[in-house]
């Protein structure tokens, strides 16, 4: 019986054509991609008005409040963003197919979980361990490879995975009740790594943490906003933090921010001391 410790090595052997891939795995991959394509493109994306396990780790409580209470204020996702999500779906299906071909136990895919009333779906259970597949940029991949996600986790992945592990505590498919792992794939360069975490501490407070989030979204909107940051080392202007810049509730949360189009993309300025010499997007401009 294979264990998680050799997963990446075994997957690389499959990629090199050294055995394991067969017609059954091909069908599994084809069916998985077809299913997510139907889900992604068969109807418009839903606007969530509820908490999910994947959202529990959202670092900005204000954003989470908007997602639950004011979905109508979200900016519609652009087609290129939706297509990027689909790329991630394909990579997830490929990763699980490779794990299967490598002879590892891959079960519990998209298994439904319930953590004190908050529902969600895990990616899979591989060799008895809850695994979340992540397609990443080369820069983000480095954090997984070096095991530094606890130090820099802007998307709340640690909270998300620990919730999946907690949700599987009574699942017989999950034989390792305290650990979880990220199977990360660098979508730019094709590198693969496995980032394993012991969630003993997170599991002790998970019930309390979930109840705290539920209470937060049930109350008034949190006042705290992620503070703006300097536009540059020498500028007196401030701009929205990266998390705020990409948030679908940016306009609702930061109505005072002004949008300027630089050569490398839009910058959302809050305090404008030195007026930029670039085009400013006003309301109504496309």
- CATH code of residue 190: 3.90.320.10
pLDDT in tens, 204-221: 999 999 999 999 999 999
Q: Report which secondary-structure segment, H or E, holds 200.
A: helix 200-218
Q: Is the pLDDT of residue 286 over 60?
A: no
Tokens standing for 206?
């998970």
223 inside domain? no
pLDDT in tens, 105-130: 999 999 899 999 899 999 999 999 99
**Are 26 and 147 contained in the same domain?**
yes
Class of residue 43 by CB neighbours under 10 A (exposed 0-12, middle 13-18, buried 19+)? exposed
* pLDDT recorded at residue 284: 53
Poorest-confidence range of 37-51, 83-97, 123-137? 37-51
112 inside domain? yes
Q: Cβ neighbours of residue 79 under 8 Å, at least 6 residues apart? A: none
SS3 label, residue 274: coil
Q: Is the pLDDT of residue 28 over 60?
A: yes
Q: Cβ neighbours of residue 30 under 8 Å, at least 6 residues apart? A: none
**Are 159 and 99 contained in the same domain?**
yes
60 inside domain? yes
Which segments within the chain are labelled E, that is strand?
Answer: 106-107, 112-115, 118-121, 124-126, 129-136, 179-186, 192-198, 229-230, 238-239, 258-262, 265-269, 279-281
**Are 166 and 258 contained in the same domain?**
no
224 inside domain? no
239 inside domain? yes
Q: Phi then psi for 140, rounded to 5 degrees?
A: -70, -35
Q: If you average pLDDT over residues 27-37, what whole number do you get?
A: 97
Residue 255's domain comprises 229-281
36 inside domain? yes
Looking at residue 52, the DSSP 8-state letter turns out to be: B
* pLDDT recorded at residue 160: 93
Structure pTM? Answer: 0.89
* pLDDT recorded at residue 148: 94
pLDDT in tens, 98-107: 999 999 999 9
100 inside domain? yes
**Are 139 and 50 contained in the same domain?**
yes
Q: If you average pLDDT over residues 159-174, what whole number do you get?
A: 95
286 inside domain? no
Average pLDDT in the chain: 93
* pLDDT recorded at residue 49: 79
Q: If you average pLDDT over residues 261-271, what whole number do you get?
A: 93
Q: How many domains does one find in the chain?
A: 2
**Are 93 and 160 contained in the same domain?**
yes
Q: Is the pLDDT of residue 247 over 50?
A: yes
């Amino acid at each position: 019986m294979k264990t998680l410790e050799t997963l990446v090595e075994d997957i690389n052997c499959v990629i090199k054509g050294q055995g394991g891939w067969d017609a059954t795995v091909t069908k599994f991959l084809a069916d998985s991609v077809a299913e997510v394509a139907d889900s992604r493109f068969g109807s418009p994306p839903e606007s969530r008005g509820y908490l999910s396990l994947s959202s529990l780790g959202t670092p900005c409580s204000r954003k989470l409040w908007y997602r639950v209470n004011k979905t109508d204020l979200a900016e519609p996702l652009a087609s290129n963003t939706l297509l990027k999500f689909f790329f991630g779906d394909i990579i997830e299906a490929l990763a699980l197919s490779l794990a299967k071909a490598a002879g590892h136990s891959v079960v519990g895919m998209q298994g439904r979980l319930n953590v004190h009333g908050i529902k969600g779906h895990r990616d899979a259970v591989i060799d008895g361990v809850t695994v979340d597949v992540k397609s990443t940029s080369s820069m983000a991949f480095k954090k997984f490879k070096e095991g530094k996600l606890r130090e820099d986790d802007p998307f709340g992945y640690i909270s998300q995975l620990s919730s999946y592990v907690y949700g599987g505590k009574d699942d017989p498919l999950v034989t390792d009740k305290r650990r979880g792992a990220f199977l990360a794939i660098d979508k730019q360069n094709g590198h693969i790594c496995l980032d394993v975490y012991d969630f003993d501490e997170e599991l002790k407070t998970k019930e309390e943490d979930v109840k705290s989030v539920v209470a937060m979204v049930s109350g008034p909107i949190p006042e705290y906003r992620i503070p703006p940051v300097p536009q540059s080392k020498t500028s007196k202007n401030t701009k929205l933090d990266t998390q705020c810049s990409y948030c679908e509730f940016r306009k609702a949360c930061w109505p005072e921010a002004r949008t300027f189009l630089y050569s490398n993309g839009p910058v959302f300025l809050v305090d404008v001391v030195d007026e930029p010499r670039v085009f400013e997007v006003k309301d109504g401009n496309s």
